[in-house]
Amino acid sequence: MEGNQYYNYNSSYSGLENTTQNTGSYYQQSQEPEKKKKKKGGFGRKLAGGVAIALVFGLVSGSVFHATNRFWGSVFPEQEEVSNVALNRSSTSVVQTNTTAEKAVDGLLDVSDIVDEVMPSIVAITNMSEVTYRTWFGQTATQQSESCGSGIIVSQDDHYIYIATNNHVVSDATSITVQFIDETTVGAEVKGTDPGSDLAVVAVALEDMSADTIAKIHVATLGNSDELKVGEAAIAIGNALGYGQSVTTGVISALDREVTVSDENTGATVTNELVQTDAAINPGNSGGALLNAKGEVIGINSVKYASTEVEGVGYAIPINTASPIIEKLINREVVDESKAAFLGISGVGVSSSVAETYNMPEGVYLYQVTEGSPAEAAGLMAGDIITSFDGSEVITTSELENAMKYCAAGDQVEVIYQRQTEGAYREYTTTVTLGSKN
């Protein structure tokens, strides 16, 4: 629209010194590289299409709402306590959040009891990575870049605490640090990622944590996003602006919104059905929790609709969509190199711009299929475009390679691909028995 500007914010945030007021943007990239330069891409992703740009941030937030005591009494009738649905929770010392706290004070919704219970399950995540930039003399150089985001403690076993977050929060990280409710920080590692759903799991070793910290943190209780109703309360907790955890409230604005997000670096786009909320999603909010009135996690905040004419439109990944992916990332292990799998293809990613130009689907275009390979045996041919591998959506070759890391020689995996037939692409599914890379 003429006169309307949209902004795509980088998800990293380290303070307000970069704030500008005349553009509507929280901050802009400086022309000269600083000692710690914000990554231009990575976390920054935008809403594809002609309406506006969606922001993908590194933490969670929300927007405050008010209502009369009578209104909230009708919106929040007494509800039964639900059972524990946290993923893979073991019998060790981390307790479960209490989801029965809810009260109204002086005619306003008071969520302090909910926050007291849930805050120990929310963490701040710091991502250190290398960023490449071009100097004034035309040379390329690299330097450290620091980005921040949020995460939710969703599970634990006898050795690790598992934290769910967004893939863009931890992408390209050379090191990751997690800060808990007591402000202690511990090094962490990426357990697994699923770029297609923008989800990731970070693991923290229990042996690296003090007994005091373990006693103070909680495993979040996961709710049922399929039961959400438009208009019910939504509470967001996260490390907004990188200042530490903060709380805001709003409502569920809409359900099953199709949101297409494009990666600034690769141009790849992903379309998912998300929960819409008027909770304000600010820089540093991705990976944090969207809660219902019982303190259950019903979404993982990740995207904001950014326009000078739009206010209070944010999106979260429904927890029922995220849970099976998170569980898979927690349980699967990277295969030892001696058992590494072989598919037998050579390909290139089809970005959204290429797909639009040549009227073809996004995915991994196969320009060669090795003779006698597992791919050929499964019926794949040069010219096919792989869109899903072993349940994970793939658009770039790096996403396909990432999915292959968890597969061993001899494994049977489902591959979804598209093939041009009579001038149009049609979708097919095949099962591939992977060979040995060695």
As annotated, the active-site residues are 168, 198, 286
Element (H, E) at 113: helix 112-118
**312 φ, ψ (degrees, to nearest 5):** 70, 40
Query: Got the DSSP string for 354-386?
Result: HHHHHT--SEEEEEEE-TTSHHHHTT--TT-EE
Local structure of 23: helix, strand or coil: coil
Local structure of 318: helix, strand or coil: strand
Q: How far is CA 207 from CA 38, 124, 184, 211, in A?
A: 32, 19, 14, 9
> What is the CB neighbour count within 10 angstroms for residue 271?
14
Side chain identity at 205, as an amino acid letter?
A: A
Number of Cα atoms under 13 Å in the Cβ half of residue 262: 19
Q: What is the rounded CA–CA span in Å between residue 357 and residue 267?
A: 13
> What is the CB neighbour count within 10 angstroms for residue 307?
18
Q: How close are the terminal C-alpha atoms of the chain, in Å?
A: 55
Q: What is the rounded CA–CA span in Å between residue 313 and residue 254?
A: 10
**403 φ, ψ (degrees, to nearest 5):** -65, -35
Residue whose token pair is 């100097």 = 135
Element (H, E) at 319: helix 319-331
Burial 173-188 (b: 16+ CB within 10 A, else e): beebbbbbbeeeebeb
Burial 371-385 (b: 16+ CB within 10 A, else e): eebbbbebebeeebb
